[in-house]
Amino acid sequence: MLQVIQGGERSVSQNVLASSAAVAVQAGRRRTFAVISHPDAGKSTMTEALALHARVIGQAGAVHGKGDRRGTVSDWMAMEQQRGISVTSAALQFSYRDAVINLLDTPGHADFSEDTYRVLTAVDSAVMLLDAAKGLEPQTLKLFEVCRQRSIPVLTFINKWDRPGHDALALLDEIEQRIGLKPTPLTWPVGIAGNFHGVIDRRTGVFTRMQRSPGGADLAYEEEIDAEEAAEMYGAEWDTAIEELDLLAMTGADHDQDTFLAATSTPVLFGAAVANLGVRQLLDLLVELAPPPSARPTVAGPDQPVDGAFSGFVFKVQANMNRAHRDQVAFMRICSGRFERGMVVTHAGTGRPFTTKYAQQIFGQGRDTIDEAFPGDVVGLVNATALGIGDTLYTTVPVQYPALPSFPPEHFAVVRTSDTSAFKRFRRGIEQLDAEGVVQVLRSDQRGEQAPVLAAVGPMQFEVATYRLDAEFGVRVQLDHLPYEVAARTDADGREILRTESNIEVMTRVRDDALLALFPNRWRMKSVAGRHADLRLDV
């Protein structure tokens, strides 16, 4: 009997090891990355182009012919399609070669930087798009700083090379001087910006001639041409490209995988996403160079290994993606172990069980039921009203991932509806927007429950909030903007102190019951703090 038990224990142990090895293999196939850029640099267009090259869509969604411009797959919200901008993040998963790609599209507008920051906590690398004519722009710099803080490896794609723009070497110099990353081009353009013929692969020396398809909605035409033929075809432009390649070689601008993974150098590629030029090269290099999921830091204890017991965290909550379903989806990044649909997991914050019966793979607005997933994957948990942004889920081994911080709001407005019959829908809509992090919702003792205060990083968040309240909940609202620009966290004692000050309000953030003191400007906050030594103010 003893031998049978021991044999059984060995069998269980072997099964665990086999399962762990299988998870490690699957994790090694994953490439989870975000596309980041300044608004209008072509981020959503690049997302579409990558999906097109992986042959998971038949045509790119951004067709620029007159009267035939369609919304991109990742821009699923009607407001995004109407205005041609991304105001919410989206997840796309597809296979390419032997890899599984998890591509997270992010809002480019600065007003939605909080949403972008949350997405960047869920990726292992990033693709930074630069407009060839504009170079590094303010929002690009801000997003890169987030990548730097999290040591996220960054690949750089210099976009819109089919239009007039800066000199290629000047753009490399700008990258190095302004963000401190050493640029290491892997492809090099033949032809100046606006007269793009193709790229030379610096590692192989192969020149690929490129030509956009009619309308740019299909894969670009590509042809490998030897150096002699290319020199004859392009003459001085070819000679210039070869001279620049020699200069790059002399300056040591060669790709180094270790410095790339350490986030101190950035591979650089050239192309035009809207014409699908250079996109295949980017997708190939993401598979070859971008890191797979790795052990992830926890609040306490050692990093969680990818082949450990299941765990993951929620980085985004979104409702009403499909108007027919009117459901709420929690986007969960799997950090370790194997996920199986229907498994019961534990909510780390409450210790309560959560059943993952309705688990889906998200592709923009589309969705399919998913039965299993692995580290690096993003799973949509449907009707997950018990889950919030930053929540950790696990199975057998307790784990807690770091909380996702909120950005300090700088814009405030009272929101009201004059339709008293719609108040229940109004309240439900406000609660939904707060749960998703579209805006922060504050409770003011002066105004009561019927007039909550919306707090935002940027004013466009108010536009999204009012649009969604109308479109999804059938409630028209009015906003009365408040004269505050700074919010600082305080405590109960601070609230009592500030009652004696004019033009200052203390409100409660509904999400976590934090007390926020609102000031008209930073000078006023510093002045008040200088008069009250015991006043706690955390910006």
Binding region for GTP: 105-109
C-alpha–C-alpha distance, residues 437 and 459, integer Å: 14
* All residues at 6 or more sequence positions from 180 whose CB lies less than 8 Å from its CB, including other chains: none
Beta-strand relationship, 99-105 and 30-36:
parallel
What value, to the nearest 5°, has the Cα angle with vertex 48 and ends 175 and 54? 100
C-alpha–C-alpha distance, residues 90 and 88, integer Å: 7
Contact call for residues 413 and 479 (beta carbons, < 8 A): yes
What value, to the nearest 5°, has the Cα angle with vertex 306 and ends 302 and 311? 80
C-alpha–C-alpha distance, residues 380 and 517, integer Å: 36
* Tokens standing for residue 269: 């590629």
Instruction: Give the start-end residues of each E strand in 24-169.
Output: 30-36, 90-96, 99-105, 125-131, 154-159
3-state secondary structure 221-261: EEEEECHHHHHHHHCHHHHHHHHHHHHHHHCCCCCCHHHHH
C-alpha–C-alpha distance, residues 226 and 222, integer Å: 13
Under DSSP, the state recorded for 201 is: E
Q: Which residues are annotated as a binding site?
A: 105-109
* Tokens standing for residue 188: 């090099």
**Amino acid identity at 166:** H
C-alpha–C-alpha distance, residues 80 and 72, integer Å: 9
Beta-strand relationship, 30-36 and 125-131:
parallel
Contact call for residues 36 and 148 (beta carbons, < 8 A): no
Provide φ and ψ at 14, rounded to 5°. Answer: -65, -40
